[in-house]
Each structure stands twice: as structure tokens, then as C-alpha cells.
Structure 1
Amino acid sequence: MVKVKNLNWVDLSILLVALIMMIFGIGNYGLYEPHESHFAMVGYEMVLRRDVVSPTLNGAPYLNKPPLLYWLIAASIYIFGNSEFAVRLPLAIAGWLGIAIAFCWTRQLWGVKASRIAVLMLSVTFGWFIFTRQLLIEVLLATLLLASNYFLWRLLSQPHSRFYFFAVYLSLGLSVLAKGPIGIIFLLFNWFILSSAEQSWQLWQKIKLGRGILVVLAVILPWFIAVERANPGFIYYFIFNEHINRLLDIRFPPDYEVSKISAIGYLGITAVWCLPWIACLPQVISFTWRDWQDSKDKHYKQGILLLAIAAIIPIIFFLPLSSRLIYYSIPAIPSYVILCAGWWSQLKQNSNKKSLIILEIVFIALGMCLIGIIFFFPNLLRFLSPIENRIDISRLIVVTSIPLGLAWLIAGMAMLRERLRLSLISLSIGFALTCASSSTAFTLYQYVHSSKILVQTASPCLNINTLWVFEGSRQIGTAGGISYYLNQGKNYSRPKIFGVITSLPTGWVRGRQDLIYRQVMILADGGRNRLPPNFPGSPPSYLISKQQLHKYWNSDRPVVFVTDFLRQPNDPKDPPDLNLPEDAGKPLLAIGQRRMYGNHATRKFWCSID
């Protein structure tokens, strides 16, 4: 433990640069589907409907997630308007808050130098940067868990502090509202292992668990009670289908196979998320064990152990489960990076020459391999997924691999000469460029993963009365993307569009007061790969049968039909034309894997698009 100094302009500047990094470029590309579009549209519908209790997607209840991220997105849209920047901003800020907490914790364990290193490291850690740019809950959960552990550590040394007491349990309650009970499970693991290691059950008295549970309940119960009253059966569905069945891998609808990963793959992808600092893993483990064993400072040892547990639990908890997804280990990143920053800051005092030589060799070898990519580049091209701007992606790979390879080489050679600051700066700059390239890749791949281009291209050639029908998918978030872009920047008023009619035509939903918004209809009988969700309550209003679609398709109303771009490839039982309406003809638009068809009424006024 070190004496904490006040922040100065250098610290504030470093934190400001980290904030700019988290925010930079988050509005430059369309919402990826199904995950980003579902979060964005639920948040937007909260604004449209003025209902923060029951999450809705595409005009119907969507009850598989707690509301915290939806609330944050809704607040951001309300303040900044409905844009990709606004919907991603809360997650970017959550990522920065995680960096700020890492800064504070590292500073109190190892001092000013280590805290600045921690900010630099976490800002350019590959997984942390990537998942502040994709709307998933994991970075928000990771920050809340890091906050819970940090405040717990402070509470253990100041058990009479009301601030740290409420901060621990408020963070824990918010983690439940973010992801469900998994945050409580992780923190209980931490507490149990910490008390077992110290063979002191008095720790449970210091954290005032009984009163803390009351604080957590005060945070979470109002929403759970309100949503259960509005949607009877929600709590049962939430506990069993979304948690127990998910852990057992029997949840309905099932997760996409592309997101699932084997146990070995899970360890491998975790290593990728922790780049470049995963290269230091053996040294960080040795440093953590030695410091925990040798230190006489009890509070310091508690901090080291809490960080080590927090870095391990998200990995080993999901490792034996077949339901593990590629991003479940994200909450392990900040704790590991804090330990890595502590190790790096102590290198000159406690360096092991043999382990450093191994690290230097690893750095140089990685640099040579990355630079060598350009010699094998033609063979790597065939691994790229189908994309219209393949040439741009190819250039991006070359532009990224060369500076990143140079960064590893310089870092290794600098470490050989014991110039540790140069080594750290080289890696950080190299991965900052890599992170910037990943943002460019998101922009290039939006043609594959977002409906933005499809809707924006088609809308000028369709009238406001057009009925949009989606083939369906395992996750209706894919339809949420179409709905989001149909309504983005629009403020449809019922009296202005439909006059005094009391009931809206199919494809429209009521918001607050006279506001209305467009709804994408989804096939209810589109096949085994796209069964609709089975939430409590009545069937969703967006469902449409093939028979109903046939009726609309042959009517005078313009109708467009969008195919499932997430269908399982090479499935003979699910060909691309499985659910096409009769006389669909050739697609009006083909963007990426998406195909949009129009009925006769649509084709009458469809404009020619090159």
C-alpha cells in the first residue's frame, strides 16, 4: 500500500484522453444485428411510449433482459436525439468508468505510476475497446462488478464508512438490473474465497451482509414488482428460461451457434480479448502470487486477492458450461489489467531476468509473425466473409498488421535494453491503432451485419403506407434493426397521417399521446429456425402468418418482404426461398446477405436503384 497523492493535470489529461478514445467513432456505423438493434430499439421505444417498466421491441413486450442498459440508452436518446452515437454513448461511458475505477484501485495499491499505466493499458486492451463499441451488457456488468469489488475492499479497511457500505450494495443491485443474479453469484464467490483464504469469518460481519441485502432489494424490487404486475409470469420466465435454462443450454429461443464456443476456444478468445497484455500472463501470475504471499500489509493482500479472484471467476464459472458465449469473459479484463499494471510498475525493482528474457523473445516473435502476414496475405483472403468492399478490408488487414508487428518488435527490443517506458508506449500505440482499425472494420462490415443501408436505400422508393414484413430469425433483434431505421429521425403523428381514425392499420403502433411509430411484421410460421419468442402474456402484435402475408401480398397495399440474413448456411431444410411469397420475382434490393422483395403494388412505383 502507498500513500495516495492528489490528482494533478497529468492524471486528468490521461483520463480525458481515455474518455475520448472510448467515445471516438461510436456513431460512424450502423447498428449490428441482432444484439445492437434490439438494445437500441427497446431504449427508443421507452422514449416513444414513456414506459420504463415494460421493455418493448417492435411494439410488443420484450422481457428477456433487466432494464438498466435500456434505461441508459433511453436517457441518452432523450438528451442527444436518436442516433447511433446516442445509443452507444452509455456503454462507452461505462467503459470509461471502468478505466477510472481501475485508475483509483491501482493508485492505492502501487502508486501514481501504476495508476497511469493501468489507464493506458485498459484503454487499448482489445476486448475492452471492442465491447464499448458493440451494444452488449458485458462491459456495463464488468464495470459494476469492478466497482463492487473495489468498494468492498475499501469497506474492509473502513467498516464504519456509510459511503463504502452503500456503494458496495448499490453497485451490486445495479449489476442485477444490468444482467440478473450473475453479479451476486460472482461477488459471493469473491467473498467466500477471501474469507476462506484468511480463515476469518469476521469479514462477513464487516460487510454487514444482512443490511446490505436490504439495500440490494431496495434497488431491484421496485422494478421487478412493477414489471410482474404489468406482465404476469415475468419473474418465473426470467428466472427459469433466461437463467436456469440458459445455463443448461436449453433456453428458448436458443443462442446463435456463431456466438457459442468450445471450452478451449473460450480460453483462446479470452486471451484475444486481453491482448496485448495476455503476453505477460506468466509474469503477472508470478508477481501476484509473490506479492500476496510476501506482503505483511493485510489490506494490500486483500486487494491483490480480490483482483485475482475477480479475474479468474468469469472464466472458470462458464468453462464447464456448454452455454458459454464468446463475450462472457469480458468482466475478467479490468481486474487482470490492474494486476498487469501493478507488475509493470514494479519491473525495475522486482524483475526476474529469466522471465523477462522469455517475454522479450515472445514480443519479438509476435512482431515478426505479424509483419510476416503480408507474405501470406493472398491465402488469408479466402477466410474473409463475403463482403462487397473486400478490397477495403484487405487493405485494412495490411495497414493494421504492419504497425502492430512493429509495435511488438520495438517493445521487445526496448525491453532488452531495459527501456520499459518505451516498450509500454510502443505496445499502447500499436494497439491504439489496432483499435482504431477495428472501428473502421465495423463501418465496412455494416453491409453484412446491419439493416441501415437496406432501409436507407429502400425508403426513398417506398411510400409511408408500405407494409414491411420480415421472414423471422432466432432473435427478433434482427427485425428491431429494420424498425429502428424506419423510425429514426421521424416523429409520426397519428392525426397528421391517419386523421381521426381510432384504429391503426397493420404495421403501425401507438406511442405516447398522438405519437405513432412503424412496426415490422414477422412471420409466425417461418420454420424451425425462426420460431417467435414465448414471452408471458398474449402473442406479440407483430406476428403474421403466411396466409395473412399472402392476403396482403395480393392486395393493393405496397408490401416488402425481407429474408432472414442470419439463416444457418448450407442447411438443405432451410433454403433462402423457403418462405418467399408467391410471384416474389427478383429481389428489389440485395445488400450483403439481405434480400428485399416487393409485391405488385410496390413494383408500380419502385424507383431504379443502381
Structure 2
Amino acid sequence: MSFNRVHLWILLGVTLVTRLLSLGAYPLMDTTEARYGEMARLMVETNNWITPQFDYGVPFWGKPPLFAWMSALGIKLFGVNEFAVRFPHWLAGVLIVGLVAYFAKRVGFSGLVSALVLSTSGVFLISAGAVMTDIALTLGMSLALIGFYLCWQGSKLWGYLAFLGLAIGLLAKGPLVIVLVGLAVVPWLVMHHGFLGSLKVLWQRFPMVGGLLVMGAISIPWYIAAERATPGFLNYFIIGEHIKRFVVSGWQGDLYGTAHNEARGTIWYFWLYAAAPWSLILPILWWNKRKQLGIGIDPESGLLSFLVFWMLSPMLLFTFAGNILPAYVLPGIPAMSVLIAILLSDEGNDNQWFKIVSGVVPILLLGAVIFIQSGTGNRRSDKALLRDIDPSVPTYYIGRRPFSGQFYSSGKAKYLQNYEILDHLKRAQLIGKKEAVEEVVHSKKMNCSIDTVEHSRRVLYRCERPR
């Protein structure tokens, strides 16, 4: 490929380093990042590495623990701060970039272009450095599908690595990874080999028995330990989180939040803007080069169709789901990056638009960090509110305690129900005027707060933020 490789390497380096430097530049914001960051902090403090905790002694059954293990290891290395909990997720993103670049080069196309497209896709750049479950799932799924394809081409070692990827996915987000990989692999196999032929190919080319043993040995012990530690976990996680969450609109069984209720098919709209700018460019490239598709690609390789099924698998799964988020499209983004590298493989020196598009994204990231630092972050996080509070002075939340309040107070900010506060303050002799307390408790104003310091104690009242 005749792209100026130096410029592309610089753009890739700037993108990844910019994201790295941004990790500690803004607070953990409610609810997702602060919630998962607090779970990691709790994991380290309580030394409970089996069951993530929603609060002290309250198990979190919503996700497997890989996200918490990652951030908890960051805390072990760097202490309790934003950089520590985000760095392992950034590192997972870098591993995905390297894996996809290797795969693209192995099948005969530019690994550098694939890496740059992937790293400058909006949802990937945000997730690679965010305390969420999605980047670990994407790492597992990418390893599983790349391993599958290369094993299909004859490398048994990559077959075992595919099952390792499934194990990572099972510890990142559960059986969802098997469904996503199946949606990519099964129709592709049937298209190339027929139904019965697919079964024969799976048995002959793939280490099914050994691979399943590897996958089970890595992932199943945690599931057993989690159920033994907190009975009821498997029923909630398998039935509730993997079936009811996606088929029951506005599912009321969610123990940890409010289920989303999007219109069916919204996942495609999410993909369009979450994977921007490349989701907008891919259809144009495909249409303009439709006559050249397949040139230089062995038709027996099935590479194009494999990447298309991989890219579309999250959208196919979530088309009829209402409880979805934009990050759900992330596992298909690596396939999109390789597709774009294939479509650009016949480009000559006319590549300025590619450099401009790739260079705009890190600039937008810097702008987003500046915007968050200008006050947006403080409105969605209690870091600034708790920064100057003496940790030896008790702090209380009434009605609702955000996860950022838990994280930035190191779990010391206590939560009191509205009906508990008057009796508590009376016994603690913190406030003499009952009316002042009632005014706060029953206030209907949003974003209100009152600090009262008497008898060397602090009572922090926080009203619920607008949704």
C-alpha cells in the first residue's frame, strides 16, 4: 500500500497516547463508570475477588467480574484514582488494536490502516479507557473470531486461542459472547459448507474437545464459586440478564438500575453514530468499489463475508431488543476496520482525506476532555464536592447516594433513608432545628445541597439529580 506510513504511524501513536494521557484528566461520572470503579475499589478493600459488590455486603449479579478484576489490579498498582481504574481497559484496547492489525496483515491487507481505523472509531476510542465491561468482551470476541478463521484455514493453535477468547468473553459478560460468535460463525459456515458440511468441518478442523476443556477450565470455576458464595446468582444472571433484559421491554427485574426501553431497531442508529466517522464512510466506500470487491481476494477464503457477519452480529442480536446501549455495537467494530482496510487496498497517493478523518478524532477527544473539565464532569460526579471534606468527619447522603460519592469518599459517605434522618440527627445532636432538616428532606428542588457543621460533624444533604 502506498499510503505514507510515517504519517499513519504518527496518527496512530497520537491517538493511543492522547487516550492514555486523558485517563486521569476527568472524574468518574455517574452512573456507569463510577459504579464499576467503586466495585473495583470495594473488591480491593474487602479482598473479595469472587463476587463484585454493589455496596458493602450487597452482591452484584449483573456482570461477571473481569471488569472489576481489571480495575482492581490497576488500583493495586497505582492506588485509588481515575487513571488506575481506567488503565487496564486502555491496555485491553491496545491489545485489540494489535490483534486486529496482525489479522489484517496475515490475510494480506494493511494492518496499520486497520489499526488506525479501529482506534479512531468513536465508540472504540471512548471504551478503550472507560471502566465498563464492553472492551473486555470485545477483546474476547475478537480473539475468538480471529482464532476461528485462522483455525479454519489450518492453524490448530489458533483454534485453541479461539476458545481462550470465548473464556475471556464468559468472564467479561457471560454467555452473550457465545451468542455473538455464533451469529457470526454459523451462517458463514452454512453459506460455505452447508448445514451437514458445517458440522463435519467443525469436527475435522477445530479442536472441539480440547478447546471446550480449555474454555471450561478457565471460566466455569468462577461461575461455580460465585453461585456457592451467593446462591441465586446463576438464575438471575442467566435468565434475567440474558433473556428477560433483552426480550422484556422496560424489564422490572433489574436489581441494580432501570432497564432501558428503546424502540426496536434502534441498535442500527446507535451503530451509525457510535462507530462514526467510519460507519458513515464504509457504505460510501463499499458502493464506490462494489465492482472491485473480491479482486485480490481468494473467493475460497470467504474473508469478505466473514467480516460482514462479524460486523453485523451485534446489530442482528439486538435488533429486536429494547434494553440496549450504544456500546453494544462495539464487538463488531474490529471487523469494520479490516473491511475498510480491504476497500482502501487499491488506493494510490490520493489519501489525504483518510489522514484528515483519522486526525480529527484525537482532536475531538481533547475537546471532549476540555469540555468535561469545564464543569460538565463536576455536574455528573461528586468528586469536587467531596474533595475538601475531612475524611474523619462523617458525611451523610439523604434519599440517594451516587456511586461517585461512594468512590471519592472511599466508602465512608453513609446513606440514610429519608425516614431515618430526623431520628439519626436528633440522637447525634447534630442539628437543633427540626424544621431545617424537614425542609431539605421534603424539598422538591433538584441539585440542591446543604452543608451543616456543628459539634465538629458534617451532614451533607444531596437531592437527586435530574435524569
Find 1:27's aligned residue among 17, 24, 27.
24
Indicate the residue corresponding to 2:353 in structure 1. Answer: 423
Indicate the residue corresponding to 2:405 in structure 1. Answer: 482
- After superposition, give the CA deviation of every residue in 1:410-433 in whole Å (9 maximum; x if it has no partner): xxxxxxxxx522111111112221
Indicate the residue corresponding to 1:518 in structure 2. Answer: 412
**Alignment TM-score, normalising by the size of structure 1:** 0.66
Q: 1:605 Cα shift?
A: 6.9
Matched, 1:234 2:233: yes
Indicate the residue corresponding to 2:335 in structure 1. Answer: 335
1-structure distance, mates of 2:429, 2:393? 7
Q: 1:191 Cα shift?
A: 2.1
2-structure distance, mates of 1:313, 1:235? 25
Aligned residues of 1:144 and 1:174 also touching (Cα < 8 A): yes
Indicate the residue corresponding to 2:254 in structure 1. Answer: 252
Aligned residues of 1:130 and 1:438 also touching (Cα < 8 A): no
2-structure distance, mates of 1:582, 1:247? 46
Aligned residues of 1:141 and 1:183 also touching (Cα < 8 A): yes
In the TM superposition, what are the counterparts of 1:197-596 in structure 2 within 5 Å?
Answer: 197-199=191-193, 200-201=197-198, 202-205=200-203, 206-249=205-248, 250=251, 251-253=253-255, 256=258, 260-263=261-264, 265-286=266-287, 291=293, 295-299=297-301, 301=302, 303-348=303-348, 419-444=349-374, 445-457=376-388, 459-460=389-390, 464-472=392-400, 479-487=402-410, 518=412, 520-521=414-415, 523=417, 546-556=418-428, 558=430, 583-584=436-437, 594-596=447-449
Residues 106 and 21 (structure 1), Cα distance of their counterparts in 2 relative to 1, 3 Å cut: farther
* Equivalent AA in structure 2 for residue 68 of structure 1: L
SS in 2 for 1:327: helix
Aligned residues of 1:22 and 1:93 also touching (Cα < 8 A): no
Residues 254 and 598 (structure 1), Cα distance of their counterparts in 2 relative to 1, 3 Å cut: same
SS in 2 for 1:594: coil
Residues 63 and 593 (structure 1), Cα distance of their counterparts in 2 relative to 1, 3 Å cut: same
Aligned residues of 1:479 and 1:520 also touching (Cα < 8 A): no
Residues 263 and 344 (structure 1), Cα distance of their counterparts in 2 relative to 1, 3 Å cut: farther
Which stretch shifts more, 192-201 or 84-93? 192-201
Residues 314 and 468 (structure 1), Cα distance of their counterparts in 2 relative to 1, 3 Å cut: same
Aligned residues of 2:451 and 2:458 also touching (Cα < 8 A): no
Find 2:133's aligned residue among 127, 137, 141.
137
1-structure distance, mates of 2:291, 2:176? 27
Q: 1:292 Cα shift?
A: 5.1
* Equivalent AA in structure 2 for residue 241 of structure 1: G
Q: 1:12 Cα shift?
A: 7.8
Residues 342 and 593 (structure 1), Cα distance of their counterparts in 2 relative to 1, 3 Å cut: farther
* Equivalent AA in structure 1 for residue 412 of structure 2: R
2-structure distance, mates of 1:80, 1:551? 41
Aligned residues of 2:395 and 2:412 also touching (Cα < 8 A): no
For structure 2, which runs of at least 5 residues remain unmatched after alignment? 461-467
2-structure distance, mates of 1:232, 1:441? 44
For structure 1, which runs of at least 5 residues remain unmatched after alignment? 3-7, 349-418, 473-477, 488-516, 524-545, 560-580
Aligned residues of 2:35 and 2:403 also touching (Cα < 8 A): yes
SS in 2 for 1:28: coil
Matched, 1:188 2:188: no
Matched, 1:171 2:43: no
SS in 2 for 1:521: strand
Percent of aligned positions that are identical: 19
RMSD: 3.2
* Equivalent AA in structure 1 for residue 20 of structure 2: I
The structure number with the bigger radius of gyration is 1
* Equivalent AA in structure 2 for residue 425 of structure 1: K
1-structure distance, mates of 2:430, 2:392? 9
Aligned residues of 1:26 and 1:133 also touching (Cα < 8 A): yes
- After superposition, give the CA deviation of every residue in 1:489-515 in whole Å (9 maximum; x if it has no partner): xxxxxxxxxxxxxxxxxxxxxxxxxxx
* Equivalent AA in structure 2 for residue 426 of structure 1: I
Q: 1:64 Cα shift?
A: 1.6
Indicate the residue corresponding to 1:44 in structure 2. Answer: 41
Residues 425 and 276 (structure 1), Cα distance of their counterparts in 2 relative to 1, 3 Å cut: same
Q: 1:189 Cα shift?
A: 1.9
Residues 555 and 218 (structure 1), Cα distance of their counterparts in 2 relative to 1, 3 Å cut: same
Aligned residues of 2:393 and 2:456 also touching (Cα < 8 A): no
* Equivalent AA in structure 2 for residue 158 of structure 1: G
1-structure distance, mates of 2:335, 2:91? 18
Q: 1:558 Cα shift?
A: 4.8
Q: 1:469 Cα shift?
A: 2.7
Q: 1:522 Cα shift?
A: 5.1
Residues 120 and 294 (structure 1), Cα distance of their counterparts in 2 relative to 1, 3 Å cut: closer
How many pairs are equivalent?
A: 442
Residues 465 and 21 (structure 1), Cα distance of their counterparts in 2 relative to 1, 3 Å cut: closer
Matched, 1:149 2:72: no
Aligned residues of 1:126 and 1:435 also touching (Cα < 8 A): no
